[in-house]
Structure 1
């Protein structure tokens, strides 16, 4: 069955949600809340992938809104704010349900997204992982220490993985 729209859920910091309520616009990730350049780098990578697959963003400086289509399984689709994964100290979040056309959504795997956030290589299998580890050793670099890697070929391999 083809579905033209998806129901999604996003978790928004309470201040961002209050801003959206007052001006009627739900904005993408607020980088003022995050000082980590790697976080921005990962979202820049996601913007490129989204542009390739679903077209350019509405404005050149806009970022995607992270949302859940299915949190745990088909019986537990919406995220539960009471779960420990969302229990961020001294921060209050709200869960917002909204609907988006399929053509505006890029689905991804939450666990695999952490490979992008952490600048990790995704090997096809154990041999591929070992091959990449040897390449790093040969160049005396580690993606754990130096994102982005100063060796262009290795950086490209990480992004392609």
Structure 2
């Protein structure tokens, strides 16, 4: 399967030097570390080849580089296409991931919101987060209808798995 990742030139230079691409915790907001650690634990449970690295974020569709917000405005970066097997990646809903990042409950409906408010919601916060991986199911609920924007994570990607590299300047 094809996946794409956007990396800074610094990250790309490190990958060229080491022979592989890997996530770097120095780029993670400290407020998001709990969410990242949760994702890494899910990767350990679900990906047989995962060795505990910080995740590399991937897109399931080639991102449009004309849209800003990928890197800082004017920053040089690379768009990398990688060929990975499905068992090497953990796919999730991009928008639902932001509920995890914000350390909130992932509810699917107004009814679940009401249950959460009155203390009768039966899932823990972390149990509700599992729904980010059930991306086909959550799209059945009005709260989550809209564009299917899927992301994926993996651990380490050897440079031999990379198919295309395109340098660009972020808008």
Q: Which residue of 1 aligns with 2:95?
A: 111
User: Matches of 1:85 and 1:111 in 2, distance apart?
Assistant: 15
TM-score by length of 1: 0.69
**What pairs with 1:3-18 in structure 2 (closer than 5 Å)?**
6-18=1-13
- Bigger relative contact order, structure 1 or 2 (CA pairs below 8 A, ≥6 apart): 2
What is the alpha-carbon root mean square deviation over aligned residues? 2.3
Give 1:87 deviation, angstroms: 5.2
Aligned residues of 1:8 and 1:67 also touching (Cα < 8 A): yes
Rg bigger for which structure? 1
Larger fraction in strand: 2
1:32 to 26, 34, 59: 26
TM-score w.r.t. the length of structure 2 is 0.65
In the other structure, the counterpart of 1:63 is 54
Shift of the alpha carbon at 1:65?
A: 1.1
Quote the Cα distance in structure 2 between the aligned partners of 1:39 and 1:83.
Answer: 24
Q: How many residues align?
A: 127
Q: Which runs of 5+ in 2 are unaligned?
A: 129-171
Equivalent pair of 1:81/1:87 in contact (CA under 8 Å): no
